[in-house]
């Protein structure tokens, strides 16, 4: 039985349930399908129980006659594929999201397309208990996949030897296209593949509008995707900075598969905050600075939380940005709202006694479908800022 407020939210299409929503906490195994009723014992929804982030269950349907079987999942996958048909036709982009959790009607699961390979990400033990049925439904709808991979993004004691669960192994690297740019991806190398697909539109903007003839600093650069986009967009020099040792060979690889001379660019394996000190000491400034930190990160020296530390991070970035320069400020922290993020920008510029204009804003691209009742799902916030 759900409390009144939870009942109202569920009937409007809000997809997640928390323990406080239940009149009495259900003591059932994760993955259990439950029928939710209101205080008058009238049907509200069918949900599955699962611990994921701050949630305890996901609503599957508010239709009392709907059966949660293979047909149910097939219908979801068919609709999702139909809605991405425009991406299938785009020969310049061969990697995108084909199924986005609650945005496509099934919280706890995302599926990404990488040039005819598919990567499933399971976000809870609860959804994973329905794995066999879900995979069977997917294979019934998608018959032309070369291979299926899976990532378990919940705590588990067992680690399989390979993430490949069906079909043939993808080449290593699997070179995908994004807006005509080559990117090296690895589908069987931990939870990450080498590229964050949700930043596609932002990279295109950098490529087409902001890179030509400019010097670009890419902080928290990962595998250098923004750096490559900037270089192909005509940047005269890029500097990529990331603490992870593997960022160096990974970034070199991205430049080389695009026939770019890596010697024209700088790659630094170091703490971004140490690099800021180094750059200020050496009076280095840049025309464009990309800042896309993780929501939370811990190194030997410090802990970074986007919700607490982003404004301070931006202050450093402002000092390294030339007058009339561009800052690409991004966060994927779901607990940082758009208004809060704007506040960080305002605070940082105020403290540095500088003014700015916001040129463009970006949220998730069209393939990352959102449930309009679940605003937390639209986690990406990107502001392209011009320093005056």
CATH number at residue 160: 3.30.750.80
Mean pLDDT of the chain: 97
Domain assignment present for residue 16? The answer is yes
* 153 and 244 housed in the same domain: no
188 lies in a domain? no
Q: How large is the average pLDDT for residues 316-333?
A: 98
Q: In terms of residue numbers, what domain contains 90?
A: 70-172
End of a domain among 19, 44, 61?
61
Among residues 53, 51, 21, which one has the least CA distance to residue 36? 21
Angle between helices 306-320 and 272-281 (to 10 degrees): 20
Domain of 46: which CATH number? 2.30.130.10
Considering the domain architecture, whether residues 298 and 160 belong to the same structural domain is answered as no
- Say yes or no: 104 and 44 in one domain: no
87 and 155 fall within a common domain: yes
Q: Is the pLDDT of residue 146 over 80?
A: yes
- b/e string for 122-156 if b means 16 or more Cβ within 10 A? bbbbbbbbbbeebbebbeeebeeeebbbbbbebee
| pLDDT of 115 above 90 | yes
In this model, does residue 158 exceed pLDDT 90? no
Nearest to 382 by CA among 322, 338, 324, 320: 338
Pair 124, 248 in one domain: no
Return the pLDDT at 256. Answer: 98
Count of domains forming the chain: 3
Q: Are 222 and 367 within one domain?
A: yes
Residue 182 lies inside a defined structural domain of this protein = no
Say if CB 2 and CB 23 are below 8 A apart: yes
Please say whether the beta carbons of 180 and 154 come within 8 A: no
pLDDT exceeds 90 at position 157: no
| DSSP H or E run through 147 | strand 147-152
pLDDT of the residue at 239 = 98
Instruction: Return the SS3 of 156.
Output: coil
Is 368 in the same domain as 334? yes
Q: What is the mean pLDDT of residues 58-83?
A: 98
Q: How far is CA 211 from the centre of its chain?
A: 23
Which pLDDT belongs to residue 369? 98
* 109 Cβ contact partners less than 8 Å away, ≥ 6 residues apart: 99, 101, 120, 121, 122, 123, 127, 134
pLDDT by residue (tens digit) across 271-281? Answer: 999 999 999 99
Q: What is the pLDDT of residue 201?
A: 98
The closest of 250, 248, 239 to 214, measured between CA atoms, is 239
Strands 16-17, 55-61: pairing kind: antiparallel
Instruction: Say whether 315 sits in a helix, a strand or coil.
Output: helix
Query: Does 191 fall in a domain?
Result: no
- Residues 16 and 141 placed together within one structural domain of the fold: no
pLDDT at residue 331 is higher than 90: yes
User: Distance from first CA to last CA of the chain, Å, rounded?
Assistant: 56
Segment 205-235, tens digit of pLDDT: 999 999 999 999 999 999 999 999 999 999 9
Tokens of 253: 């690889």
55 and 74 housed in the same domain: no
| Neighbour tally for 244: CB within 10 Å | 12
Q: Are residues 167 and 111 in the same domain?
A: yes
Are 331 and 361 contacting, i.e. CB atoms less than 8 angstroms apart?
A: no
Please give the Cα distance from 366 to 123 (Å, whole number). Answer: 22
What is the value of pTM for the model shown? Answer: 0.96
Mean pLDDT of 237-254: 97
Does residue 297 register a pLDDT over 90?
no
How is residue 364 written in tokens? 């998730």
User: Do 223 and 141 lie in a common domain?
Assistant: no
- Judge whether residue 293 has pLDDT over 90: yes
pLDDT digits (tens, 9 = 90+) for 159-206: 888 999 999 999 999 999 999 999 999 999 999 999 999 999 999 999
């Amino acid at each position: 039985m759900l409390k009144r407020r939870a009942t109202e939210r569920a009937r409007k299409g809000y997809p997640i349930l928390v323990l406080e929503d239940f009149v009495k906490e259900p003591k059932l195994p994760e993955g259990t399908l439950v029928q939710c009723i209101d205080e008058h014992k009238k049907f509200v929804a069918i949900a599955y129980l699962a611990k994921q982030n701050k949630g305890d269950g996901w609503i599957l349907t508010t239709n009392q006659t709907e059966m949660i079987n293979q047909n149910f999942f097939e219908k979801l996958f068919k609709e999702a594929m139909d809605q991405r048909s425009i991406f299938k036709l785009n020969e310049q982009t061969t990697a995108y999201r084909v199924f986005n959790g609650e945005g496509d009607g099934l919280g706890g699961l995302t599926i990404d397309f990488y040039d005819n390979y598919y990567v499933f990400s399971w976000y809870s033990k609860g959804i994973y208990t329905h794995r066999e049925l879900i995979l069977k439904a997917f294979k019934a709808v998608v018959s032309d996949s070369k291979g299926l991979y899976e990532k378990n993004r919940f705590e588990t004691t067992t680690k399989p030897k390979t993430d490949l669960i069906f079909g043939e192994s993808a080449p290593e690297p699997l070179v995908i296209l994004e807006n005509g740019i080559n990117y090296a991806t690895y589908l069987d190398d931990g939870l990450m593949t080498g590229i964050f697909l949700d930043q596609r539109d932002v990279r295109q903007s950098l490529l087409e509008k902001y890179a030509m003839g400019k010097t670009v600093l890419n902080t928290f650069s990962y595998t250098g995707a923004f750096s490559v986009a900037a270089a192909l967009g005509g940047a005269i020099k890029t500097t990529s900075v990331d603490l992870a040792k593997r960022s160096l060979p990974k970034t070199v690889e991205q430049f080389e598969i695009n026939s770019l001379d890596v010697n024209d660019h700088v790659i630094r394996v170091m703490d971004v905050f140490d690099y800021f000190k180094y750059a200020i000491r050496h009076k280095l400034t840049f025309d464009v600075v990309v800042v896309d930190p993780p929501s939370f990160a811990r190194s030997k020296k410090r802990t970074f939380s986007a919700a607490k530390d982003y404004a301070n991070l931006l202050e450093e970035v402002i000092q390294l940005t030339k007058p009339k320069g561009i800052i690409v400020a991004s966060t994927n922290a779901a607990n940082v709202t758009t208004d809060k993020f704007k506040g960080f920008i305002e605070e940082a510029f105020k403290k540095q006694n500088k003014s700015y204009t916001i040129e463009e804003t970006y949220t998730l691209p069209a393939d990352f479908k959102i449930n309009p009742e679940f605003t937390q799902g639209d986690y990406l916030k990107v502001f392209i800022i011009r320093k005056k």
